[in-house]
Structures are given as C-alpha cells and as structure tokens.
Structure 1
C-alpha cells in the first residue's frame, strides 16, 4: 500500500504538508469528522490518485482563522485525478478512469439530489444538508490536497473525461471543473446573464474571473469586474473585461463612466463575507458592502447571483453580529427594486459536463483566464501565503509531478 501526504491546517496562517493515512473504504475519526460519520462504510466509493488539486479562496478563509475549522483538518475540495481502486458496490467506475470530482459530496438518492440540488444533499453531513471535502462543518470527509483521496458514491459523483490523452493536454482547464468554473457559471446563470447582458462582477479572484469568463460564454455584451487589487484587475482586462477599482470609489460611478448609465442588468457577488469597504473605507472590513452595492447598481427587476461564501460562524468578524453571520443588509432596497437573490453552494453536477465539453472543444480557456499556476504539493504553504497576499493566480497543486509543462 502506498503512503500518502496531505496539506493540513494547523493554526491561523499555518498549513503544513504531513504524512497521513492512505484512504480506506471507511471513515475514521479525525479532525473535523462528525461523530455520526465515524465508522461509516464507503463500499460505494473510489480511491483517486490526485493529478491536480487547487487552493481555493474558501480554503483561505479557514487558514486565516475566519472559521471554526479544527487544527489538523486536511484541506482541499478541488480535485482532479485517476481512479486507482473501487469499493465492492461500485459498478461503472473503473480503475484508470481520469475524472473530475465535484466539490459537493452528494449521494444521488435523496430528494435534493434527485432534484439536481447536489449542494444540499441530505445524506452526507449529519449536521445539515450539504457537504464538501476538507471543509469545516461539512461532515468531516477528508480533503483532497493530498496524493490520494476517497470519493464516496463514485458512480454518481465522478465525471469521467472521455479521452485520456486529450484530457491531459487540457488538464489545467479541466482542473477548474471541480469548483470555480461551475461556481462562476452558476453565479451568472442565477443572475440571469444572457445574450447582450451588461454584467457587474464583484471580486477579481479566481471565482470572479471564472464568473467573468462564464458571462462571455453566456453571451454578455459587457462584463465589468470590480476589485481592490490592481494585479487581479489587470488579469481581468487580459481577456476583455472592463474593470472598476473600488479603492477609488463606488462601483456604480465607474459603471456609469463605462456604460453611460449607473446600473447593469445582472450582478454577481464573488467576494463573500470578508468584503472590504469602497473608496475611503477600502482597507476596512465591511461584510455587507458588496451585497448592498449590488442592490444599488442592479436594475429594477434584475437578479443577483451570490456564489461568494457566507458563513454561520466567523470568530474573526469585525462585530458580534457578523460573528453569527448577521449582516446589515439594505433588504428594503432590494425589495423595492424587486431583485431576486440566489445563494448557496453551486450544484456542480448541473454544469460540469457541459463545461467540460466547452473546454475539450476549445470554446473556452478558463485556465488562462484565472492564471492557473502549477506548484508541487511541497510548496503548498508558500502558495497559501502568496494567495493570501493577493497573487493574481490560481494555484494548482501537483502531488505526483504529472502536470508536466501544463
């Protein structure tokens, strides 16, 4: 049996690559594992050899100490790899399959899964609907920033790439299918982006850039990306976006300079609960700033997609209300303008096959848009540090050195 190495959260600002257990078809006790899941048999699972596993902004929230994540939690929910072993109840998935692993863990059997709401599966997390690999309060499924990872309900969850050689040629693009590409796409779909739309996307991190790419794929006429980080704004401009530097003032005023009117048809929040203020308050944490500004700049009758993460527990929040996930929202404004709001985990399986086909047939270059940058697993701590400092990159960990010159 091979060994295994994985990235573990130790304390705020600290991660470490550790020797850890090779996966088995049964959940063991460990950091973050829900007691009701300990001993759970996973006869329906597959063990995946990780080819690519990404550092996500959601991981960064935990590493900053902004969640209740326990020390020792193995991180990572954006996984692409090769099946090396299957459990006795797996029928269709085979060793050697090259696959994308949706970050949502879902059973395929419950009411929500059957309705396509795989982000809120009822059977994988004893605390509440919805689960993910290596994430706080998500049931304790071990993360995939590792050499090997266990994937439950393999026949249901895994997306097989149709041709191995073709997939390896586009592996950095395909690595975005586990989370950020479907998540950005979901933000745009739920915001109503379509042919000729004008779109504002708050946040030029990887999810925001994935949303901007998705907006063009959906036919948007103008895509405006707002952020405080000039390097990330420059990355957005490289593939045709207009940009708004919100450190210089409200995005609404900059939108008017671009469009001639101070509003857009559709808006996407790709920032989440660690939002900063605009203009003079650019360095100050203001968790409701983005949502309130989106209500202000979205046309009456428009919709706001919210793939940005919001949490129920934030020990590092700026005020007591925010520590419980309570924000000072101008809901009256959104109500008066008849806005629609769409929140929650992206149901990855709703989109990943179609987006895979767009990648394989050269309709989109998502890795280039988000500046996907492979690094060895051993460099994960530095990758986390650089990403936390605002690097305009999407770091892709390469545990087995298989990404080559991708």
Structure 2
C-alpha cells in the first residue's frame, strides 16, 4: 500500500514524499537510532491519519535550528483511525478513532508507572523521552503522513467514545495530541488556580492553549505577551488581556492592567528562539523570556516552561546557546523562592479530562488557536505561512476527511 508523508528537506524546506507503508517493526531511516532498528512493535497499531498538525516545535527543525537529518518524516500531533492492530494489542480495535500523545511511552518503566510519560526510559536509547518525527527522539517515524505506526497502543492511545461525535469535533480533538495538554501543563505547573493572575509569554498556538488552560483552571486575569499583533488579536478573541513586548517593559505594561507590576503565575510558551523586548525586540536573545518571567512572577510563585529548549542549536546567537547554555539570572529566581517546571508535557496526565471538556462544549480550543485544515500536499505552504507569523494553527488532512466549512 502507498503512503505519502512530509519530510524535512534542509533548512527552510519541507517536501511531500512517497514513503513506505508502516510495518510492525522499526526500520532504518533518517534519525533512527541504530539501537532501535529492527525493534518489533507487535504491541502497536497502524493508523489512517485523520488530522496531523504543524507544530512550532517542527518549525525549529525546519529552520535548521536543530541537528535533525534531512529526510526525517515530520509530525508528532496525530489523530487517526485504527486500520491494523498488532499481535499483542488487546483493547484497541480496528475502526477506533483515537488521539495519539506526542510523547511515546512504554507503560512499563518506573517513570511511566509514576505518570511521567514524557520521560519514558524504554523508547529512546539516547535519553529519557521520545516523540514521533523528532530529532534525537529515537527515530519513531512522524505522523504528517497518510499512515503511521503507533507503539504500545493499549497504553498510549486515547479512544474517543463516539465516532460521529469525534468527527464533528475533530478540529478541537486534534489538539489533544500536544498543544492543548502542553499549554494546560504550563498553566498547572505555574500554579494557576481560582483567582490567579497569569502572564503567558508567547501567543503562538501553545501560548493560546496555555491561556485557555488558565481560564479553565479559574484564573481571574490572563495576560498574553508577544511581538505579533495578529497573534495578540487572537488572544483577545477569547477574553485575554494582551501586551506587545516591543512597546516597553513587561512590568510597566502589567502594572497598567493589574495595578501592580507582577503576576501570580508565569508561563514560557516561547522557548529557545526567543527575541528581546522593548528596543531589542528584533534581536534574538534566548534567555529574555525566562529572565523576564523571574522578574514579574511574585515571590513564592511558579514558572511553567512548556516552551522548547534544546541541547543542540547550530543557528544560535553564541557558542553557549548552541549547547543550550543560557545567561539566566538564577539568583533572581533563588531570591524570590520561585519554582520552575520544565520538559515535555506528560500528555496522558491531562488528555482525557480535556477531551471531556471539548466534548461537553467547555473548551473551544480550535477557535481559540484559529485552526484551519489544509491537504497534505499543501504542507509546504502551511509551514511557510506559519513560519512567517500567521496567527493560525495548520491542521493537515491527508485523506480529505475533515469538513472545510
């Protein structure tokens, strides 16, 4: 059977390629760790992809800002229909429509048993934690494709309770694979509760998801900061306050909104390609957001960091940043007794409760992030427009199953 997929073709380029139909074995290919080649996946399923989204994390690779090899099949945000089940799968059935957590987890190791599925010990020989179609993540083939293999299916997959309802809300449900739980995780780990004041750095899809997550948790005020006016307008569309960080200090603008220059909870939804604030807004300054959050988060507060940071960035502004070393004012964090939470979101910790919020009309996340469906063949255009700052979440529809209404 044929299969088409989106692959990284060098800095600034993606292309749609013909790629092998999945088998229940991890084959050699771009980015596959040699220790994983030949790994049997009888515990997996093959999905016909219904929706697979372009993520800001993908953009880091496509910009050439990681060590990703050319030819890597992209995509870690996957929703699909089960078309084949492996020999050892017990509970997932052909025909089920499911959400795939972006982090691959075995369900057997110490970390998985403790709910830390973002740092599974058994799926990536390089380091704890894995993901589909991502550099240094073990080489599991990405899901921006017509068909994709999902390992440890009984453990990883979230089955939607009703097929027709799932297809009706598919543009919301596709956000459960990554950005909605990731944003929500940022809000949870920053300590958001009823009455909190919250600052979200970054109005991309994860930042907007964090803002909606903070609202669901009962925040009194959610303020989103960015340089992109279209993305800030998107944040205002569902009740957030906004500040343009190019227009002056974050503290001063917060004080104009809140009466004080600080918030209870800070969230970094930007990551390692951050730019400066104020007069330095056009320059890349990777530690800017983290240092700003330490300044504006109240003493005793917490900073959630769902934004991506890496240990290898060939395009970084200095030698230290190329290795993931940033000039942080850690003394500020220490003096203020701040707590920090970093790393991959453990998607399974949140995805079922967020699914229920979606199915019961409590979380219109697709509208919040301005999601729009395009065909798989249109992926290069979607990547280019997203990279240019489009205030939109691009959802790829490989089989034409999503309504364009």
If the length of structure 1 is used for normalisation, what is the TM-score? Answer: 0.99
What is the RMSD of the two structures over their aligned residues, measured on CA atoms? 0.5
**Displacement of 1:405 after TM fit?**
2.9
**Displacement of 1:249 after TM fit?**
1.5
Q: For 2:211 and 2:403, locate their aligned partners in 1 and report how far apart those are by CA, in whole Å.
A: 28
Q: For 2:294 and 2:341, locate their aligned partners in 1 and report how far apart those are by CA, in whole Å.
A: 13
1:391 counterpart residue number: 390
**Displacement of 1:57 after TM fit?**
0.2
1:189 counterpart residue number: 188
Q: For 2:285 and 2:255, locate their aligned partners in 1 and report how far apart those are by CA, in whole Å.
A: 23
Runs of 4+ in 1 over 6 A off after TM superposition: none
Q: Within 5 Å, give how 1:43-62 maps onto structure 2.
A: 43-62=42-61
Deviations 1:321-373 (Å, cap 9, x if unpaired)?
00000000000000000000000000000000000000001111000000001
Q: For 1:99 and 1:172, locate their aligned partners in 2 and report how far apart those are by CA, in whole Å.
A: 13
1:380 counterpart residue number: 379
1:23 counterpart residue number: 22
Deviates more, 1:246-255 or 1:38-47: 246-255
1:301 counterpart residue number: 300
1:84 counterpart residue number: 83
Q: For 1:64 and 1:249, locate their aligned partners in 2 and report how far apart those are by CA, in whole Å.
A: 28
Give yes or no for the alignment of 1:264 onto 2:283: no
Q: For 1:5 and 1:405, locate their aligned partners in 2 and report how far apart those are by CA, in whole Å.
A: 21
**Displacement of 1:138 after TM fit?**
0.1
Q: For 1:404 and 1:247, locate their aligned partners in 2 and report how far apart those are by CA, in whole Å.
A: 38
Q: For 2:238 and 2:126, locate their aligned partners in 1 and report how far apart those are by CA, in whole Å.
A: 41
Deviations 1:241-279 (Å, cap 9, x if unpaired)?
000100112211100000000000001000000000001
Q: For 1:363 and 1:327, locate their aligned partners in 2 and report how far apart those are by CA, in whole Å.
A: 39
Give yes or no for the alignment of 1:120 onto 2:116: no
Q: Within 5 Å, give how 1:279-294 maps onto structure 2.
A: 279-294=278-293
Q: For 1:56 and 1:377, locate their aligned partners in 2 and report how far apart those are by CA, in whole Å.
A: 14
Q: Within 5 Å, give how 1:198-237 maps onto structure 2.
A: 198-237=197-236
Deviations 1:175-232 (Å, cap 9, x if unpaired)?
0000000000000000000100000000000000000000100000000000000000
Q: For 1:73 and 1:253, locate their aligned partners in 2 and report how far apart those are by CA, in whole Å.
A: 44
Q: For 2:364 and 2:28, locate their aligned partners in 1 and report how far apart those are by CA, in whole Å.
A: 40
**Displacement of 1:404 after TM fit?**
1.5
Q: For 1:304 and 1:310, locate their aligned partners in 2 and report how far apart those are by CA, in whole Å.
A: 15
Deviations 1:59-83 (Å, cap 9, x if unpaired)?
0000000000000000000000000
**Displacement of 1:15 after TM fit?**
0.3
1:11 match: secondary structure: coil
Deviations 1:258-306 (Å, cap 9, x if unpaired)?
0000000001000000000001100100000000000000000000000
1:171 counterpart residue number: 170
Q: Structure 1 regions of 5+ residues with no counterpart?
A: none
**Displacement of 1:145 after TM fit?**
0.1
2:71 counterpart residue number: 72
Q: For 1:250 and 1:183, locate their aligned partners in 2 and report how far apart those are by CA, in whole Å.
A: 27
Give yes or no for the alignment of 1:274 onto 2:261: no
Q: For 1:115 and 1:234, locate their aligned partners in 2 and report how far apart those are by CA, in whole Å.
A: 39
Q: For 2:27 and 2:193, locate their aligned partners in 1 and report how far apart those are by CA, in whole Å.
A: 46
Q: For 1:320 and 1:249, locate their aligned partners in 2 and report how far apart those are by CA, in whole Å.
A: 29
Deviations 1:22-52 (Å, cap 9, x if unpaired)?
0000011000000000000000000000000
Deviations 1:372-391 (Å, cap 9, x if unpaired)?
01000000000000000000
1:316 match: secondary structure: coil
2:366 match: secondary structure: helix
Q: Within 5 Å, give how 1:311-322 maps onto structure 2.
A: 311-322=310-321
Aligned length: 405
Q: Within 5 Å, give how 1:145-164 maps onto structure 2.
A: 145-164=144-163
Q: For 2:282 and 2:152, locate their aligned partners in 1 and report how far apart those are by CA, in whole Å.
A: 44
